[in-house]
C-alpha cells in the first residue's frame, strides 16, 4: 500500500470538479458546489450523523441508496439545507439537476450540503450552474482539488488523499475528499467525506467495510463536542480495477478494508488538525487497558476535555486535567496504576507515574507542548489493549469564528 496523488480522481473511471455558483453570496471567489461522477454505476454505501435533527440530503440519500447503487454525488457548501423551507424538495432538485446532465436516474445521485442551518437553499443558482459544473469535471488531480475546495466552509486546509494497493492481483486505488473543522465530535462529527475506489466489491460488503472503517477513524476524532446535523461519509466503488468481485469477508476484503482505513484515518487526522482556531493537533494514545473499547472511551474523554484542550493551548503540562478527564469517562480503573507522558518532536516527558505527580523539567515540557503535534500517552497497566483518538486545542479564535458564524 502506498499514498498517491489524485484524490477522488485517483481511481479509474471517476471525474470531479467544483465551481462557484452563488450559494456563497458573501464570497464570490469561493467554489461552492462540487460534483463527483463515475463512468458506470457504483456499489455505494453511506453513514450519517447520529443527531436526531438531520439535514434533508440525508433523508434523500437513504432513500436513493436502498439498492446500494449510485453513479454521482453533488455537494454544496455555504448552506446546510437543514430545517429550512423546501429543504427536501431542494435536495431532490439538486439530484435531478445532476441526473439530467449525467444521463442517469435521479435515484442514482446522492447529495450533501454543509453550512448555515435554517436558511433556504438557493436551488435556482445550482440548477442554472449545473451544466457548467458538469462540463468542468475532469479525471485528473485538478478535478479532485476543485471538488475538495468547493466543499470547504471554515476549513483552512484542503483535505484530499489517495492510496494504491493490490487486491486479487490487480492494482486498486482509493481516494477521498473531506471537509470538517468545527462541530466535530465522535459518532460522525461535522464532516462530509466522499471516498471513491475502482475496487470490485458488492454493495453489502461496501457497507460492511465502511462501518468497520468509520469506527476506527472518523468516530475517533473531536474538535468541540458538537455533533452536526449534516455529517455524511459516502464510499462509491465502480469495479473498474478488474479484481474478482468481493462478496464475502475474505483476504481480498481484508486488503480493501486495510486501505480504506488508512485513507480514512489520515483524513480524520487532517480534520482534527484543522479544527476551528486550533494551534495544536492532540493525539491521545491509551495503552495497557483491559479492552479496546475501554481505551477508546478514556482517550475520547481526554481529547474532549475543555480543560485539557485549554492547557495544551497554553503549553501548560497540567497532567491533572488528563487524569480528571479519565476519571469522569465512565470507565472504572485504578488511578494508582496510571502513568502519563507528554510527547512531541521536541521530546518526551513523564509527568505522572502510578497516579502521582513527578518533579519534571518545566522548560522541556513547555518546549514539547509548543510543537503543533502533541501526544498525550497514557499507560493504564491493567491489560494489553490500546486505542488512539485525535483532537485539538481550544483557542480564542474558536470563539471568534463561532460567535458570528451566521452573520
In angstroms, rounded to a whole number, what is the distance separating the alpha carbons of residues 307 and 341?
17
Query: Domains of the chain by range and CATH?
Result: 2-273 (3.60.70.12), 281-403 (3.10.20.340)
Q: What is the pLDDT of residue 74?
A: 98
Among candidate residues 249, 27, 21, 263, the one with its CA nearest the CA of residue 121:
21
Among residues 44, 165, 190, 395, the one annotated as catalytic is: 190
pLDDT in tens, 71-120: 999 999 999 999 999 999 999 999 999 999 999 999 999 999 998 899 99
In angstroms, rounded to a whole number, what is the distance separating the alpha carbons of residues 360 and 298?
25
102 phi and psi angles, rounded to 5 deg: -75, -30
Task: Please report which residue ranges of 65-140 form alpha helices under DSSP H.
Answer: 87-102, 123-136
pLDDT in tens, 272-293: 888 777 899 999 999 999 999 9
Non-local CB neighbours of 120 within 8 Å, separated by 6+ positions: 84, 85, 86, 87, 90
Angle at alpha carbon of residue 173, lines to 170 and 174, rounded to 5°: 145
pTM above 0.85, yes or no: yes
- Within 10 A of 329 (CB to CB), how many other CB atoms are there? 20
26 CA to centre of own chain: 26
Under 8 Å between Cβ of 23 and 198: no
* Cell numbers that stand for 313 in this block: 493551548
pLDDT in tens, 176-226: 999 976 444 545 445 899 999 999 999 999 999 999 999 999 989 886 555
Residue 21 has pLDDT above 60, yes or no: yes
Instruction: Tell me how far CA of residue 142 lies from CA of 5, 20, 56, 108, 137, in angstroms.
Output: 10, 15, 30, 25, 9
Non-local CB neighbours of 70 within 8 Å, separated by 6+ positions: 41, 42, 44, 64, 108, 109, 110, 236
Q: Considering just the CA atoms, what is the radius of gyration of the chain in Å? A: 22
In angstroms, rounded to a whole number, what is the distance separating the alpha carbons of residues 120 and 84?
5
Please give the torsion angle defined by the CA atoms of residues 95, 97, 99 and 105, in that order, rounded to the nearest 10 degrees: 60
In the numeric block, the cell 503535534 is attached to 373
DSSP 404: T
Residue 229 has pLDDT above 90, yes or no: no
pLDDT in tens, 306-348: 999 999 999 999 999 999 999 999 999 999 999 999 999 999 9
Q: What is the pLDDT of residue 189?
A: 46
In angstroms, rounded to a whole number, what is the distance separating the alpha carbons of residues 268 and 132?
31
DSSP 74: E
Strands 2-4 and 159-167: antiparallel
Q: What is the pLDDT of residue 155?
A: 86
Q: Is 395 among the catalytic positions?
A: no
Under 8 Å between Cβ of 33 and 133: yes
Dihedral sign (CA 239, 244, 248, 253): negative
Q: What is the 3-state secondary structure (H, E, C) of 273-317?
A: HCCCCCCCEEEEEEEEECCHHHHHHHHHHHHHCHHHHHHHHCCCC
Residue 47's DSSP bridge partners are 233
Amino acid at each position: 500500500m502506498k499514498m498517491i496523488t489524485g484524490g477522488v480522481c485517483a481511481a479509474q473511471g471517476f471525474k470531479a470538479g467544483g465551481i462557484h455558483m452563488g450559494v456563497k453570496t458573501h464570497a464570490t471567489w469561493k467554489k461552492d458546489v462540487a460534483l463527483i461522477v463515475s463512468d458506470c454505476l457504483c456499489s455505494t454505501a453511506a453513514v450519517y450523523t447520529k443527531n436526531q435533527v438531520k439535514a434533508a440530503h440525508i433523508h434523500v440519500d437513504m432513500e436513493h441508496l436502498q439498492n446500494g447503487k449510485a453513479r454521482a454525488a453533488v455537494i454544496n457548501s455555504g448552506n446546510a439545507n437543514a430545517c429550512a423551507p423546501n429543504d427536501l424538495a431542494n435536495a431532490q432538485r439538486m439530484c435531478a439537476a445532476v441526473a439530467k446532465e449525467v444521463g442517469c436516474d435521479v435515484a442514482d445521485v446522492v447529495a450533501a450540503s454543509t453550512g448555515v442551518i435554517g436558511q433556504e437553499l438557493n436551488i435556482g443558482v445550482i440548477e442554472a450552474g449545473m451544466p457548467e459544473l458538469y462540463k468542468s469535471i475532469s479525471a485528473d488531480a485538478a478535478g479532485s482539488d476543485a471538488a475538495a475546495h468547493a466543499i470547504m466552509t471554515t476549513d483552512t486546509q484542503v483535505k484530499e488523499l489517495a492510496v494504491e494497493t493490490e487486491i486479487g492481483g490487480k492494482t486498486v486505488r482509493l481516494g477521498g475528499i473531506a471537509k470538517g473543522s468545527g462541530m466535530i465530535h465522535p459518532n460522525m462529527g461535522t464532516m462530509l467525506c466522499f471516498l471513491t475506489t475502482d475496487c470490485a466489491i458488492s454493495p453489502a460488503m461496501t457497507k460492511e467495510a465502511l462501518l468497520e472503517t468509520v469506527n476506527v477513524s472518523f468516530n475517533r476524532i473531536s474538535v468541540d463536542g458538537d455533533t452536526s446535523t449534516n455529517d455524511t461519509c459516502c464510499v462509491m466503488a465502480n469495479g473498474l480495477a478488474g479484481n474478482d468481485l468481493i462478496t464475502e469477508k475474505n483476504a481480498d476484503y481484508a486488503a480493501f478494508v486495510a486501505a480504506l482505513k488508512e485513507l480514512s484515518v489520515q483524513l480524520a487526522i487532517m480534520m482534527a488538525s484543522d479544527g476551528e482556531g486550533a494551534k495544536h493537533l492532540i493525539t491521545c494514545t491509551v495503552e495497557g487497558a483491559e479492552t479496546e473499547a475501554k481505551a477508546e472511551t478514556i482517550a475520547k474523554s481526554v481529547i474532549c476535555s475543555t480543560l485539557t484542550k485549554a492547557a495544551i493551548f497554553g503549553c501548560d503540562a497540567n497532567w491533572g486535567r488528563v487524569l480528571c478527564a479519565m476519571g469522569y469517562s465512565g470507565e472504572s480503573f485504578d488511578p494508582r496504576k496510571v502513568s502519563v507522558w507528554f510527547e512531541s518532536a521536541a521530546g518526551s516527558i513523564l509527568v505522572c507515574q502510578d497516579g502521582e505527580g513527578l518533579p519534571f523539567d518545566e522548560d522541556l515540557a513547555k518546549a514539547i507542548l509548543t510543537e503543533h503535534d502533541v501526544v498525550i500517552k497514557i499507560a493504564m497497566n491493567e491489560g494489553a489493549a490500546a486505542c488512539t483518538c485525535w483532537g485539538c486545542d481550544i483557542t480564542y479564535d474558536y470563539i471568534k469564528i463561532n460567535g458570528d458564524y451566521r452573520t
